[in-house]
Amino acid sequence: MSGEATAKGPHLPVLLDEVIEALRPAAGEVHVDGTFGAGGYSRRLLECGVGRVIGIDRDPTAIAGARALVDRYSGRLTLVHGGFGDLDRHAREAGYAAVDGVVLDIGVSSMQLDTPERGFSFRHDGPLDMRMARTGVSAADVVNTMGERELTDIIRLLGEEKRARSVARAIVEARRETPIATTAELAALVERVVRRKPGDRIHPATRTFQALRIFVNRELEELAKGLAAAERLLKEGGRLVVVAFHSLEDRIVKRFFASRSETGAGGSRHRPAEVRRAPSFELLRRRPVEAGEEEIDRNPRARSARLRAAIRTGAPAWPFETAALGLPRLPDQPSMG
């Protein structure tokens, strides 16, 4: 998601009514909630009478916190600890070769932002972590081991930070004295480099934190994989609904749907024009759905949300090609032995 806005009070699912309207759940259907989080979309789907919801989340805390919901909904909820990039495999392992709907809410959740020890937010001091799955390379590993050029690329490409080179240089200089270990240390460092402009509501560290989080969790790669997995899994007439929170994510979703919904689609600068493929999706609407002022007042996280949705056709799924989605070229993650 963009920025650090969080829900007031408990986690609130963004564009909930609009998501359900786009999915049009019916009794007996099977739906996948690929980013389960606090289970807001899953609850509503189950309340609408669908036969089964497969809730997927790579954050073990989210899965552990939802065990009671399995009993509440009489076993109609299946929880899976894993990435939504493999949602077709997770569904098959749960016994479903095809499903009626898939919903993805891309980005960090309010619960993660509001838990200091997870290290996602500069508003709460904590260890510089940011790992959704709680394993692998952390944000501290990235800022304390990667070179200035690599850090510049990460912050510029994933954070769209204009002063990326200066921020990277400051990080490298600071860690020569002592490793950067906490969110407060990194935020203060970035704030000295990226000055807050009068009237600017965005904290100077917002873009740098966003970039590190996306890089640590390989979020853009996961999104691309998840879209392709949903394409393979959805039955004809099934619906894919995606809520994105910043331009990088939304651009990937837009390109995915556009490429797969054009009549006679197939030609692009990445693919010879003579290769023609039947559209695998039909757009519900060309422009994204955005939150209204009432929802934004209730849930500031909704301010930057963009919902895009499409219906699966009977055409074969396209080959998975990340190049056509415009993913940025990024450095490899550091090897921590």
Q: How many Cα neighbours within 13 Å face the side chain of 152?
A: 9
Residue 105 is assigned to a structural domain of this protein: yes
Distances (CA, A) of 67 to 61, 79, 94: 11, 8, 16
Q: Confidence class of residue 110 from pLDDT cuts 50, 70 and 90? A: low
Looking at the fold, whether 105 and 158 belong to one and the same domain comes out as: no
Q: Which residues contact 252 (CB under 8 A, 6 or more apart)?
A: 220, 223, 224, 227, 244, 325, 326, 327
Residue 192 is assigned to a structural domain of this protein: yes
Looking at the fold, whether 98 and 238 belong to one and the same domain comes out as: yes
Looking at the fold, whether 89 and 225 belong to one and the same domain comes out as: yes
Tokens, residue 26: 């019916």
Looking at the fold, whether 247 and 200 belong to one and the same domain comes out as: no
Residue 305 has pLDDT above 50, yes or no: yes
Residue 128 is assigned to a structural domain of this protein: no
User: What is the pLDDT at residue 109?
Assistant: 61
Bigger pLDDT: 246 or 278? 278
Q: Confidence class of residue 122 from pLDDT cuts 50, 70 and 90? A: confident
User: What is the pLDDT at residue 4?
Assistant: 37
Q: Confidence class of residue 257 from pLDDT cuts 50, 70 and 90? A: very high
pTM, two decimals, is 0.90
Q: 154, 56, 86: which is closest to 320 by C-alpha?
A: 86
Looking at the fold, whether 161 and 96 belong to one and the same domain comes out as: no
CA distance 49 to 45: 7
Looking at the fold, whether 163 and 256 belong to one and the same domain comes out as: no
Residue 276 has pLDDT above 50, yes or no: yes
User: What is the pLDDT at residue 111?
Assistant: 61
259 is in which domain, residue-wise?
Answer: 16-110+220-325
Among 163, 186, 217, where does a domain finish?
217
Output the domain CATH number for residue 230.
3.40.50.150
Q: How would DSSP label each residue in 77-118?
A: EEEEES-GGGHHHHHHHTT-S-EEEEEEE-S--HHHHT-GGG
Q: Contact 50/30 with Cβ under 8 angstroms?
A: yes
Residue range 151-189, pLDDT digits in tens: 999 999 999 999 999 999 999 999 999 999 999 999 999
Residue 190 is inside which H or E element, if any?
helix 183-193
**Beta-ladder partners of 79:** 55
Looking at the fold, whether 81 and 105 belong to one and the same domain comes out as: yes
For the chain, give the mean pLDDT.
89
Residue 295 has pLDDT above 50, yes or no: yes
Residue 123 has pLDDT above 80, yes or no: no
pLDDT-wise least confident of 110-124, 128-142, 220-234: 110-124
Q: 225, 234, 318: which is closest to 276 by C-alpha?
A: 318
Looking at the fold, whether 62 and 153 belong to one and the same domain comes out as: no
Output the domain CATH number for residue 145.
1.10.150.170
What's the structural domain count of the chain?
2
Residue 274 has pLDDT above 50, yes or no: no
Q: Confidence class of residue 271 from pLDDT cuts 50, 70 and 90? A: low
Residue 230 is assigned to a structural domain of this protein: yes
**Beta-ladder partners of 312:** 281
Please report, rounded to a whole number, the percentage of residues in the chain having pLDDT higher than 70: 89
Looking at the fold, whether 307 and 224 belong to one and the same domain comes out as: yes
Looking at the fold, whether 26 and 152 belong to one and the same domain comes out as: no
User: What is the pLDDT at residue 154?
Assistant: 98
User: What is the pLDDT at residue 134?
Assistant: 86
The C-alpha angle with vertex 112 and arms to 222 and 2, in degrees rounded to 5, equals: 65
User: What is the pLDDT at residue 272?
Assistant: 53
Residue 215: alpha-carbon gap to chain centroid: 12
pLDDT-wise least confident of 113-117, 148-152, 189-193: 113-117
